[in-house]
């Protein structure tokens, strides 16, 4: 069995989350040895402060959860999160643009955010929202992420009505598309037990985004 703690992005993306909630999340991440916490942009600074001196990264989401905002807004949001100390950015692609074939927009957006992240010694994780895509579109999204210089492709936000749970099949497909280019895969959405988490890791996931991290590693 894999030691799953170092795969977990301990996640709290509720719009009702308070500073106190984020501090609790961070204390849990320290206690259980999780790789990172994943929070809303406005909570980035609170998470960074709560994790000062700890070996836990802070990931912030941008363009979340729909990805259907202006590139300029995603850029400014990313800049702010990085200035507040985020080590990683989980950005949502413009799914509509991908589906209508406007691949240049999708790639340009990812590249702008990847350049910002790398300039701040941070990583960019690209949420492609697999529940809205065909297998062909998933591969295209992964290839655009490679070409644009991203560090990771991620299955979903896990919060949209259209989101679907991370599947072994999707993780395998994404992993096979990016593995030779140095990107890793994050499985997110519906990961709630150790059996499911281990299956996703075996399929190629290097990171698991979940709010059930404690349950997963203590089962």
User: pLDDT tens digit string along 96-118?
Assistant: 999 999 999 999 999 999 999 99
* Helices 103-119/135-147 angle, 10° precision: 40
What is the structure's pLDDT at 45? 98
Q: Cα separation of 114 and 145, whole Å? A: 9
Question: Residue 147: pLDDT band by 50, 70, 90 thresholds?
Answer: very high
Enumerate long-range contacts of 135-138, CB under 8 Å, 24 or more apart: 135/173, 137/98, 137/99, 138/170, 138/173, 138/174, 138/177
Question: pTM score > 0.95 for this model?
Answer: yes
What is the structure's pLDDT at 108? 98
pLDDT tens column, 50-95: 999 999 999 999 999 999 999 999 999 999 999 999 999 999 999 9
Tokens of 76: 């400014």
Query: Could you tell me if residue 101 is left (phi over 0), alpha (psi between -120 and 50 degrees) or otherwise beta?
Result: left
Q: What mean pLDDT do residues 173-184 have?
A: 98
Q: Cα separation of 136 and 173, whole Å? A: 10
Contact 170/138 with Cβ under 8 angstroms?
Answer: yes
* Position 12 pLDDT exceeds 60: yes
Q: Smallest Cα–Cα separation from 71: which of 112, 100, 99? A: 112
Which residue do the tokens 């809205």 mark?
Answer: 132
Q: Check residue 88 and report its DSSP letter.
A: E
Q: Which of 57, 74, 112, 154 is catalytic?
A: 154
* Position 7 pLDDT exceeds 70: yes
What is the structure's pLDDT at 219? 84
Question: Residue 161: pLDDT band by 50, 70, 90 thresholds?
Answer: confident
Sign of CA dihedral 167, 170, 172, 175: negative
Q: What mean pLDDT do residues 150-157 have?
A: 98
* Position 2 pLDDT exceeds 80: no
First to last CA, the chain: 12
What the chain holds in terms of domains, given with CATH numbers, is: 4-218 (3.20.20.70)
* Position 3 pLDDT exceeds 90: no
Q: What mean pLDDT do residues 137-158 have?
A: 98
What is the structure's pLDDT at 163? 87
Contact 92/116 with Cβ under 8 angstroms?
Answer: no
Contact 125/89 with Cβ under 8 angstroms?
Answer: yes
What is the structure's pLDDT at 1? 47
* 125 Cβ contact partners less than 8 Å away, ≥ 6 residues apart: 59, 88, 89, 90, 91, 150, 151, 152, 153, 154, 186, 207
Q: What mean pLDDT do residues 121-129 have?
A: 98
Clarify whether 172 is annotated catalytic: no
Clarify whether 186 is annotated catalytic: yes
Clarify whether 154 is annotated catalytic: yes
pLDDT tens column, 18-53: 999 999 999 999 999 999 999 999 999 999 999 999
pLDDT tens column, 181-195: 999 999 999 999 999
* 32 Cβ contact partners less than 8 Å away, ≥ 6 residues apart: 5, 8, 10, 213, 214, 217
Q: Which of 84, 90, 151, 170 is catalytic?
A: 90
């Amino acid at each position: 069995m894999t030691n799953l703690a170092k795969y977990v992005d301990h996640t709290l993306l509720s719009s009702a989350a308070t500073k106190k909630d984020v501090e609790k999340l961070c204390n849990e991440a320290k206690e259980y040895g999780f790789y990172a916490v994943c929070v809303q942009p406005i909570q980035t600074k609170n998470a960074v402060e709560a994790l000062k001196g700890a070996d836990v990264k802070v990931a912030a989401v941008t363009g979340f959860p729909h990805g259907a905002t202006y590139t300029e807004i995603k850029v400014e949001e990313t800049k702010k999160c990085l200035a507040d100390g985020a080590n990683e950015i989980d950005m949502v692609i413009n799914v509509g643009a991908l589906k209508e074939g406007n691949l240049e927009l999708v790639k340009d957006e990812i590249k702008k955010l990847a350049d910002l992240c790398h300039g701040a010694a941070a990583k960019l994780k690209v949420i492609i929202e697999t529940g809205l895509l065909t297998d062909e579109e998933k591969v295209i999204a992964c290839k655009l992420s490679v070409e644009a210089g991203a560090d990771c492709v991620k299955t979903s936000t896990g919060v949209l009505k259209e989101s679907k749970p991370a599947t072994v099949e999707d993780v395998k497909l994404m992993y096979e598309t990016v593995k030779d280019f140095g990107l890793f895969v994050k499985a997110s959405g519906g990961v709630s037990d150790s059996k499911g988490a281990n299956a996703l890791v075996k399929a190629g996931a290097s990171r698991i985004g979940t709010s059930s991290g404690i349950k997963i590693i203590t089962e």
